[in-house]
Structure 1
Amino acid sequence: MDKFLNDMGREKPTRFTDQQLRIATDNFSNLLGSGSYGSVYKGVFSNGTVVAVKVLNGSSDKKIEEQFKAEVGTIGRIHHFNLVRLYGFCFERNMIALVYEYMGNGSLDRYLVNDTNNLGYEKLHEIAVGTARGIAYLHEECQQRIVHYDIKPENILLDGNFNPKVADFGLAKLCNRENTHLTLTKGRGTPGYAAPELWIPNFPVTHKCDVYSFGVLLFKIIGRRRNTVEELAESEEWFPMLVWKKFDTGKLGELIIKCGIEQKSRDIAERMAKVALWCVQYRPEFRPVIGLVVKMLEGSVEIPEPMNPFQHMMGEIFIAHPVQESQTYTTTTLSGSIMVTDSNMLRSTPIMSKYEIEIAPATL
């Protein structure tokens, strides 16, 4: 830890004393929120800078130190408009804390679950694009790729102008770009948002797990306060599955309307739905890299027709692979194999190849 702190002393974050933080927070009197990680307090430094002070706690000193090093060692080294800025930290016997920029509008989740805080879909689309840009910086522009592992609405913070910033790097991990796979000894992330492969012990995991979580985030934005749509007979159905079924039957527009989305925003919502279906593909190699997700959301590139992300939940095993070099593919299900020709759902287009949307290998 001493070596780590010395290394970080040469980086940008400032090391504060616990006394400085007590003065800035008026002895931690203004609580912004709390959770298993600790508590966050609002503070103001003497120069007028408003901050959020995150005081860490946990079940053991080791876990606290691991979270501290994960956050300071990742977000402390980088800066991007769509990433929350770390001003500094405190590491003393009686206090371990992180000092972040203050985000005046809180986290995204409060605007997706509370009718009184609704944002228009144009603004929500901007928030989605900004969030994707922040993740793209972590994955594609840093010297070392940073995998966040816990993308969800609670970890997307909004500044005074509702600009989104990715926060909470307590589970983040650095990896060399040459090493495309990480092996985890235990699951990471939040159930419901974490990619399926994160729950398989010792299974090789890639940065595509963040893409999956971002896809679930898009579904949350489209469906707003619910995983289901109460107005529909299928209201007990998992919302992402419902989106796929409506898309597959050409009725996605009907679902968008029943989600209460206004006419002017429906094209944006349909685009987000298609991108979300790509992001939550069960197999990581089918998911696009986040840089392509940004372009698809912006409308600057064509969105290929999504494949069914949920075939593994519908009693089928889906394997697609090229037959020689033609545009004919074999699709294998539990009920047998069939030949598919000129299928937009299976063909690896130039866009897919460029941005690492791959056709799955012939074996699981």
Structure 2
Amino acid sequence: MSNTPANSTPSSSDTSSTSAGATAATIASTIVGGIVIIVIAIAIIRCIQKNREQARNTSMQTTSESTVNQDSNIDMVTIERFLADIVKERPVRFTAQNIIDFTQNFKQKLGSGGFGIVYKGQFPNGVQIAVKVLHKTQDKRAEEQFMAEIGTIGRTYHINLVRLYGFCFDNSLKALVYEYMEKGSLDRYLFNENQKHKWEKLHEIAIGTAKGIRYLHEECQKKIVHYDIKPGNVLLDANFSPKVADFGLARLCDRDNSHVSMTGGRGTPGYAAPELWMPYPVTHKCDVYSYGMLLFEILGRRRNLILGQAESQEWFPRWIWDKFEGGELESVMLNCGIEHNDREKAERMCKVALWCVQYQPDARPSMNSVVRMLEGEEEIIAPKNPFPYMMPSQWSESRGDSVSTATETNESEENSLIH
């Protein structure tokens, strides 16, 4: 009887079974591993997407905040510029040291008058200025004029009005700071044989001056009466554009009041309206009269009163009226050296001047009409005689109730000044 050994080799069927099990395990492991990798990959992708979305949101928020901040900065800059522009439109109060610095210790004198000396100066930004320094021993009238300048021209801004930049008012120094006018005053060119200008340029100066006065009378919030219109108070810039200056006698008036009471004469003899030397209330038409006298001097390029002139030309306005009344304006043109191309404008100026100097204030045109007539936009009817002899009683009768309004308007004038 034979026995089988204990460590005999397995049969083929057993070997095949073992190999199939190992293959199944490997496949399962591979599938599981793939699933794990896919899950991890999906997680990573989602994480990346989330981070990108957060980054995008953060960027958008930052951009939005930056835009808001930028817009806020722009708004603030705009407001600051606006506020600065407002300050520029009003006179600035300077210190005495400012004035000394601006004028380099009063280095260059431009001229002098009864109430002070004018010096040339310059702001730190290079803008040239004229500084009127009042005399230290000023009286009450000088102080009134100082305040009148600030209270009137300080409220205005017009191309044909000189600009008041600021002032200084303290115990050691009182001064007014104006824009600098390169060519000086009009009288230098009207009455100086070496400074004669073409009549066409003088015609432009006449219209520009009229527009400045029209602004004072009709376009300001409060009517301003200048009281001292004359060639010496019309300044010329580098282009010979005119600007009305020197508001030391000016007054603010309520538009509802037609008359302003006066205490004592005002203005310059030869230019001042007759009513300014009479004890009656006056109107803004006194400026119209003075402007008419200025027109005569522009027309003739001479002073209105020159003693010893031939052919009764000592007082130029009266001579003009006599020639107009006699239908001889052509001789006026020849005498004044007006060329043929300018004669229509010159004849128009003659008529406007005669209307402006009418004895009765109510007969004088408004400054708006003056501008329109000079520019040929309004018809000019034949003027009346502006120089009749009138007794004081006739004046009072023609003024009606003017005297009775004196008390009522006195308080208005006092309240109109800025102190």
Paired position in structure 2 for 1:162: 240
Counterparts in 2 of 1:142 and 1:253: CA distance versus 1, 3 Å: same
Q: What whole-Å deviation, never above 9, does each CA across 1:109-149 have from its counterpart, x for those lacking one?
A: 00011111111111111100000000000000111100000
Query: Partners in 1 of 2:374 and 2:353 — Cα distance?
Result: 10
Count residues in correspondence: 314
Local SS of the residue matching 1:165: strand
Query: Partners in 2 of 1:93 and 1:134 — Cα distance?
Result: 34
Paired position in structure 1 for 2:364: 287
Query: Partners in 2 of 1:236 and 1:163 — Cα distance?
Result: 30
Q: What whole-Å deviation, never above 9, does each CA across 1:293-351 have from its counterpart, x for those lacking one?
A: 000011101011100001127x9x999xxxxxxxxxxxxxxxxxxxxxxxxxxxxxxxx
For structure 1, which segment, 81-90 or 250-259, has the greater mean C-alpha deviation from structure 2 after superposition?
A: 250-259
Paired position in structure 2 for 1:262: 339
Paired residues of 1:231 and 1:258 also in contact (CA < 8 A):
no
Counterparts in 2 of 1:208 and 1:138: CA distance versus 1, 3 Å: same
Paired position in structure 2 for 1:195: 273
Paired residues of 1:311 and 1:318 also in contact (CA < 8 A):
no
Paired position in structure 1 for 2:121: 43
Counterparts in 2 of 1:38 and 1:255: CA distance versus 1, 3 Å: same
* Counterpart selection for 2:184 from 102, 106, 109: 106
Query: Partners in 2 of 1:363 and 1:178 — Cα distance?
Result: 16
Paired position in structure 2 for 1:305: 382
Paired position in structure 1 for 2:101: 23
Paired residues of 2:236 and 2:243 also in contact (CA < 8 A):
yes
Q: What whole-Å deviation, never above 9, does each CA across 1:34-56 have from its counterpart, x for those lacking one?
A: 11121111101111010000112
Higher strand share: 1
* Counterpart selection for 2:112 from 34, 44, 49: 34
Paired position in structure 1 for 2:50: none
For structure 1, which segment, 160-169 or 235-244, has the greater mean C-alpha deviation from structure 2 after superposition?
A: 235-244
Counterparts in 2 of 1:230 and 1:120: CA distance versus 1, 3 Å: farther
Q: Once the 2 structures are TM-superposed, how far is the Cα of residue 255 of structure 1 from its aligned partner?
A: 1.4
Counterparts in 2 of 1:54 and 1:103: CA distance versus 1, 3 Å: same
Normalised TM-score (structure 2): 0.71
Query: Partners in 1 of 2:96 and 2:347 — Cα distance?
Result: 49
Local SS of the residue matching 1:302: coil
Please, which runs of 5 or more residues in structure 2 have no aligned partner?
1-86, 403-419
* Counterpart selection for 1:121 from 199, 204, 208: 199
Counterparts in 2 of 1:229 and 1:243: CA distance versus 1, 3 Å: farther
* Counterpart selection for 1:91 from 166, 169, 173: 169
Paired position in structure 1 for 2:322: 245
Please, which runs of 5 or more residues in structure 1 have no aligned partner?
1-8, 320-359
Structure number with the bigger relative contact order (C-alpha 8 A, sep ≥ 6) is: 2
Query: Partners in 2 of 1:361 and 1:26 — Cα distance?
Result: 53
Paired position in structure 2 for 1:349: none
Query: Partners in 1 of 2:199 and 2:373 — Cα distance?
Result: 17
Paired residues of 1:188 and 1:199 also in contact (CA < 8 A):
yes
Local SS of the residue matching 2:350: helix
Paired residues of 2:355 and 2:384 also in contact (CA < 8 A):
yes
Q: What whole-Å deviation, never above 9, does each CA across 1:239-266 have from its counterpart, x for those lacking one?
A: 0000000000000111121112222222
Paired residues of 1:244 and 1:308 also in contact (CA < 8 A):
yes
Query: Partners in 1 of 2:267 and 2:158 — Cα distance?
Result: 23
* Counterpart selection for 1:172 from 250, 268, 281: 250
Paired residues of 1:44 and 1:51 also in contact (CA < 8 A):
yes
2:348 matches 1:271:
yes
Q: What whole-Å deviation, never above 9, does each CA across 1:24-77 have from its counterpart, x for those lacking one?
A: 111112111111121111101111010000112376442232111100001111
2:325 matches 1:221:
no
Query: Partners in 2 of 1:229 and 1:256 — Cα distance?
Result: 19
Query: Partners in 1 of 2:179 and 2:172 — Cα distance?
Result: 23
Larger Rg: 2
Query: What RMSD over aligned residues (CA atoms) do the two structures have, in Å?
Result: 2.5
Normalised TM-score (structure 1): 0.81
Query: Partners in 2 of 1:229 and 1:297 — Cα distance?
Result: 26
Q: Match for 2:274: what amino acid?
A: P
Paired residues of 1:215 and 1:279 also in contact (CA < 8 A):
yes
